[in-house]
Structure 1
Amino acid sequence: MNWFVEHWIASTLLSAYVGVLLYNAYVGSKAATGVGGYYVGNREMGGAVVGISFFATFASTNTFIGHAGKGYEYGVAWFTLALLLMLFSWVSWRWIGPPLRRFSAEWDALTIPDYIKGRVLNNAPHASRHPVLLLSASVIVFASLLYLLAIFKGAGHLFQIFLGVPYEVAVGVTLLVVVLYTSIGGFVSVVRTDAIQGVFMLLGALAIFYFVTRAAGGVGAISQLVDMPTKQHLFDLNGAIPFAVLLGVSLSGALKLIVDPRQLSRFYGLKNDVEVKRGMWIAVLGLTLILVCMFPIGLYAHLILDNVTDTDLIVPTLVNDAAIFPFWVTDLLIVSIVSAAMSSMDSVLLVASSTLYKNLIAPFKHVANEVRLSRIAVIGFACIAAFMALNPPGDIVGITIFSGSLYAVCFFPPVVFGLYGRIASAARVFTSMLLGIATLIIWIVLGLSDLLHEVFPALLVSSVIYLVSSHRVHDDPVPHSA
Structure 2
Amino acid sequence: MGNFSVMIGFFIYLAGMLFLGIYLAKFNKTNEDFLLGGRRLSSWVLALSERASAESAWLLLGLTGAALTVGFGEIWTALGCIIGITFSWFFIAGQLRGEVGAQNALTIPDYFSEKFEQDGNSIRIISTAVILLAYFFYVAAQFNGAGKVLNVTFGIPKIWGIVIGTVVIVLYTMLGGFFAVAWTDVIQGIIMFFTLTILPIVGFIEIAKSSASVIAPMEAAGSELVSFLTEKPAGLQ
Give the TM-score normalised by structure 1.
Answer: 0.45
- Report the AA paired with residue 108 of structure 1: N
Tell me, yes or no, if structure 1 residue 160 matches structure 2 residue 151. yes
| Cα separation, 1, equivalents of 2:212 and 2:2 | 34
| Cα separation, 1, equivalents of 2:228 and 2:96 | 40
Tell me, yes or no, if structure 1 residue 182 matches structure 2 residue 173. yes
Which residue is equivalent to 1:199? Answer: 190
Which residue is equivalent to 2:89? Answer: 93
Which residue is equivalent to 2:137? Answer: 146
Q: Which has the higher contact order (CA 8 A, sep 6+)?
A: 2
Q: CA deviation at 1:160?
A: 0.7
- Report the AA paired with residue 177 of structure 1: V
1:186-209 Cα distance to aligned partner (Å, 9 max, x none): 100111111111111112222432
| Cα separation, 2, equivalents of 1:164 and 1:12 | 14
Tell me, yes or no, if structure 1 residue 170 matches structure 2 residue 161. yes
Tell me, yes or no, if structure 1 residue 72 matches structure 2 residue 68. yes
Pair 216,153 (structure 1): closer, same or farther in 2 beyond 3 Å: farther
Tell me, yes or no, if structure 1 residue 59 matches structure 2 residue 55. yes
| Kept in 2: contact 1:56–1:194 (CA 8 A) | yes
Q: CA deviation at 1:65?
A: 0.3
Which residue is equivalent to 1:35? Answer: 31
Which of 108, 112, 115 is equivalent to 2:104? Answer: 108
| Cα separation, 1, equivalents of 2:126 and 2:212 | 50
- Report the AA paired with residue 164 of structure 2: V
| Kept in 2: contact 1:27–1:188 (CA 8 A) | no
Give the TM-score normalised by structure 2.
Answer: 0.86
Q: CA deviation at 1:211?
A: 4.5
Q: CA deviation at 1:181?
A: 0.4
Q: CA deviation at 1:69?
A: 0.5
Secondary structure, aligned partner of 2:78: helix
- Report the AA paired with residue 44 of structure 1: R
- Report the AA paired with residue 157 of structure 2: P
The number of equivalent residue pairs is: 234
CA RMSD in angstroms comes to 2.7
- Report the AA paired with residue 162 of structure 1: T
Which residue is equivalent to 1:210? Answer: 201
| Kept in 2: contact 1:77–1:236 (CA 8 A) | yes
| Cα separation, 2, equivalents of 1:90 and 1:154 | 26
Larger proportion of helix: 2
Tell me, yes or no, if structure 1 residue 224 matches structure 2 residue 216. yes
| Cα separation, 2, equivalents of 1:168 and 1:226 | 34
Secondary structure, aligned partner of 2:106: coil
| Kept in 2: contact 1:36–1:42 (CA 8 A) | yes
Q: CA deviation at 1:164?
A: 0.9
Secondary structure, aligned partner of 1:117: helix
Q: CA deviation at 1:213?
A: 4.2
1:254-302 Cα distance to aligned partner (Å, 9 max, x none): xxxxxxxxxxxxxxxxxxxxxxxxxxxxxxxxxxxxxxxxxxxxxxxxx
